[in-house]
Amino acid sequence: MRAVLLLIATCAAAAVAAPEPPLFVESAAATGLDFTHVNGATGLYYMPEVMGSGAALFDYDGDGDLDVFLVQSGAFESGSSSPTARLFRNDLTSGRLRFTDVTTRAGVGLRAYGMGAAAGDYDNDGDVDLFVTSFGPDIMFRNNGDGTFTDVTREAGVSDPLWSSSAAFVDYDRDGDLDLFVANYVDFTVAGNKLCHDSVGARDYCTPRAYRPVPDRLYRNEGGGRFVNVTEAAGISKADGSGLGVSVGDYNGDGWLDVYVANDATPNQLWINRHDGTFVDEGLLSGAAVNAAGNPEASMGIASGDFDADGDEDLFVTNIVGETFVLYANDGHGSFEDARVRTRIARPTAAMTGFGTHWFDYDNDGWLDLFVANGAVSIIEQQRGEPIPYRMKNQLFRNTGKKTFDETTTPGGPAFERAEVSRGAAFGDVDNDGDIDVVVTNNNGPVRLLLNQAGGRHHWLQVRLEQGPGNRFGFGARVGIERAGKPTIWRRVKTDGSYLSASDVRVHAGLGDAAKVDAVVVQWPDGQRERWVDQAADRLVTLRRGTGRQDQK
């Protein structure tokens, strides 16, 4: 009997001791993703130093795997020795995940004080173009379709000297081409640099309140590779704010794409599309502009998605330490409830400053989870005196399926134990194994590639859309995935959101135990719906417009 008890005890101890495999493994260096962001810090605490930079995950060469563009900041007085932005080609098609630096050949070795990136096929030629925001004029790179890009900023008419942050491609006027929304931040200039201090009087970076917000920009795509600045005509200039994050979605459920802007320390904006080329800001009335007490928060990154599977798009916004991050739950008609407490998001984020974020189903159980890239913007007391006193750990939250979240940062693995100054985060299935990986950028630090190890426990489906010559990848379309006895999974085709970053345009859905999908419904950007029935799971399916059955709402 004693021996049996001992055996049980030993087995129990072994069971307890056996470590769970990490949910993510950091693999940047191992796969050749060799990039270090340089913020060019001068000791004068120029505000842009602490804000960048971002990344784009997009298939620039159309070979079916995700390549990585990494935005560089560098020196304020950029010279030929300044580091440049880098493009890394994913050579997965050769059999293993490996990146090759193709910056020079591709012609995207940009020397600018870069901030973020947006990816979309603005010229409808079937390949993905790149828009880069910066502290200084923004840049549009047209993809030539042969592995190279051309700087077409002047021809495109999108050069703007304001300090830009995140940007989003969106066909807001339903004319079949991608327009461009650019969030702009504040009127900081080097010559106008201000002196700011932390609570004990040490010099530190200023908050955005030290400067004035500058207006965002909306560019309408005129075709022929040209954009027109319609900011004023579209009503976007009627409200300003210190813009950092941009996300596109149909927030009031009227079938037209709206734009949500996260503004740092000023009320967020919810630009509701009025179907006539103009927008009206309903942020404050909608409840998604400020906290429940009516005060604006730091609002950096945005995740937009249907976390509670009720068919509408909810918003998650990252904030600064002492505020907690916020989840705005949508009632389906564009009225939002500040649900940070009831979803259990508030408590574990009270001591965090968050930037890049995204709803993504990391364990493929059918529910949208959350990743947050964290890093401070003002000195952390415990790190005072260290060279970079802004380091924080990133966080992972698992959706319980009951409208609450559990923090799963620790099971995330060693990749989550590292404290860095994270900023951008781009999401996509980098190794094409059916789960979502994360590229995380660090301010003045190396890029990280978090390869997902958790997705294999459940089934999944990825959907790539193709429509005619206009808006080829179906930006803005909604994809519904129907499973027997379970709520429809709704996802939007988009690359925007997060912070300064662009994510994979392919729609990904974890299916839980469902080995097949009853139907995939696509609501195209013009409102038409199509249905494809009986789709097998665990694969990428390309749905071409016109090949499904017409569907009634």
| Contact predicate 452/24, CB 8 Å | yes
Q: Measure the CA–CA gap between 233 and 526, rounded to whole angstroms.
A: 22
Any idea what the Cα angle at residue 113 is, between residues 315 and 424, rounded to 5°? 30
Among 117-125, 191-199, 251-259, 400-408, which window interacts with another protein (CB under 8 A)? 191-199
- In the complex with another protein, which residue's Cβ is closer, 29 or 351? 351
Q: Which of 292, 515, 533, 536 binds another protein (CB under 8 A)?
A: 292
Residue 233 engages another protein in binding (rule: CB under 8 A): no
> According to the binding rule CB under 8 A, does residue 150 interact with another protein?
no
| Half-sphere CA count of 471, side-chain side, radius 13 A | 23
Q: Yes or no: say if 369 and 362 are a contact pair by the CB < 8 Å rule.
A: yes
Contacts of 130 (CB under 8 A, 6+ apart): 56, 58, 60, 69, 108, 117, 118, 119, 140, 141, 143, 149
> Could you tell me the end-to-end alpha-carbon distance of the chain, in angstroms, rounded to an integer?
66
Sequence-distant (≥ 6) Cβ neighbours of residue 497 within 8 angstroms? 168, 245, 246, 247, 301, 302, 303, 304, 357, 358, 503
Q: Which stretch binds another protein (CB under 8 A): 76-84, 92-100, 209-217, 424-432?
A: 209-217
For the CB of residue 270, give the shortest distance to another protein in the complex, in Å: 13
Task: Write phi, then psi, for 440 (nearest 5 degrees).
Answer: -115, 130
Nearer to another protein, 89 or 340 (CB): 340
Query: Which of 10, 189, 410, 547 forms a contact with another protein (CB under 8 A)?
Result: 189
Task: Say how far apart CA 377 and CA 74 lie, in whole Å.
Answer: 18
**Calpha distance 249→93 (Å, rounded):** 33
Name the residue among 325, 323, 391 with its Cα closest to residue 358.
Answer: 325
Residues 6+ apart with CB under 8 A from 535: 461, 516, 517, 519, 520, 541
285 token code pair: 């009335």
Site for another protein in 337-366 (CB under 8 A): 341-342, 346-347, 350-351
- Residue 80 as a binder of another protein (CB under 8 A): the answer is no
- Residue closer to another protein (CB basis): 212 or 549: 212
Binding residue (CB under 8 A) for another protein from 150, 335, 488, 535:
335
Considering the complex, state which of residue 165 and residue 501 has its C-beta at the smaller distance from another protein: 165
Candidates 110-118, 378-386, 421-429, 522-530; binding stretch for another protein (CB under 8 A): 378-386
385 binds another protein (CB under 8 A): yes
**Minimum distance of another protein from residue 350's CB (angstroms):** 4
Q: Which stretch binds another protein (CB under 8 A): 56-64, 184-192, 272-280, 362-370?
A: 184-192
387 binds another protein (CB under 8 A): no
Q: Rank residues 342 and 457 by Cβ distance to another protein and give the closer one.
A: 342
* CB 140, min distance to another protein, A: 21
Among 80, 199, 550, 552, binds another protein (CB under 8 A): 199
Q: Is 293 in the site for another protein (CB under 8 A)?
A: yes
- Give which of 249, 259, 265, 301 is closest to 55, Cα–Cα: 301
187 counts as binding another protein under rule CB under 8 A:
yes
CB of 182 to another protein, least distance (A): 15
Footprint of another protein on this chain (CB under 8 A)? 162, 187, 189, 191-195, 197, 199-202, 212-215, 232, 237-240, 284-285, 287, 290, 292-295, 322-324, 335, 341-342, 346-347, 350-351, 381, 384-385
